[in-house]
Amino acid sequence: MRYSLHLTNNCNLRCVYCYENKAAGGQHKSFVMDEIEIDQRMTDILSRGDCDELELIGGEIFLYPDKVRYVFSKYGDCLGFILTTNGTIRNEAINKILGKYKPTIGVSLDDPRTVERQRVGIDFEQVLANAKYWRSITRVVICAVITPQNIRRIKETFDFYVLEHGFKTIHFGCAEEWMNAYYWQVYLREVERLIMSTPPDILRQATVSPWKYYSVNRKEYVYENGVEKVERLDPTKMELSAYRESRYAGYCLYCQRIGVTPVPLIPDGVEVVSK
């Protein structure tokens, strides 16, 4: 089971869809975990006995590479790791950490035409260069957020990162709170355009999330003083939302295109729960 540890909520970008601190009523509560709190959180996570993968997220975690190094050096032998970063910071110290522990890196990069309007402060070409460098060290996933600004460019975003620049894995997330019934129809139409216009062999070779594989999970959150510190993905529970149903419809299209049988929307043994 995957857990996510929020090392900090500080960041050097000002993304328009950033979700940080919404639970705190929009008031930014700055924090950076020290080593004592990291150990406290990790003790709690590991005591549950079901964690096999840990994601380190922010804010921007590479503002504090010493915190990342501390987690890896202490817990790297017992867990698989994923890092989520905006990709703006790359230096020799960070490269050494990645080369030694080889986590999967999720680099946040959206549609190249609109990314600088959405990720305010980004140097797009530099982040793209950083992502290309890191993939020579370890596995890199491009994490693109879909919003009304770029929803009609899902195929073009895939083509840019996968076909033009050779990344093997791309994940399309979604700023759900911006979506309504109209945009969900657009979403499905654009997902279909991507899947049906891409040769099946390319779809098989690339990992296009969330449509290539259907995963069932429900996020559970741990807050402290209004700040989210830990996420837990529970694969025994799920919520039926418009996003869930739209993702599943895209997954079924993907399966149809490559000739495999989709798993059920609600697999056996999975409990449907409300928010």
Domains of the chain, residue spans: 2-272
Of 10, 15, 8, 30, nearest to 121 (Cα)?
15
Position 176 scores a pLDDT of: 78
Query: Distance between CA 199 and CA 203 in Å, rounded?
Result: 7
- Residue 92, SS3? helix
- Give the dihedral of Cα atoms 204, 85, 105, 246; nearest 10 deg: -30
The predicted pLDDT at position 24 comes to: 43
Beta bridge partners of 230: 5, 222
pLDDT at 227: 66
> What pLDDT is recorded for position 220?
85
pLDDT at site 226: 65
Residues in the chain: 275
CATH class of the region 2-272: alpha beta
**Residue 92: count of CB within 10 angstroms of its CB:** 7
Please give the pLDDT value at position 27. Answer: 54
What's the burial of 9, exposed, middle or buried (CB within 10 Å: 0-12/13-18/19+)? buried
Global pTM value: 0.92
Q: What is the pLDDT of residue 224?
A: 72
pLDDT tens track of the chain, all 275 residues? Answer: 889 999 999 999 999 988 654 444 555 668 899 999 999 999 999 998 889 899 999 999 999 999 999 999 999 888 899 999 999 999 999 999 999 999 999 999 999 999 999 999 999 999 999 999 999 999 999 999 999 999 999 999 999 999 999 999 999 998 777 888 899 999 999 999 999 999 999 999 999 999 999 989 888 887 776 667 788 889 999 999 888 999 999 999 999 999 999 999 999 999 999 87
What's the pLDDT at 21? 43
pLDDT given for residue 94 in this prediction: 96
| Distances in whole angstroms, Cα of residue 223 to Cα of each of 3, 78, 105, 214, 256 | 14, 25, 25, 28, 41
Round to whole Å and give the CA distance between 207 and 212: 6
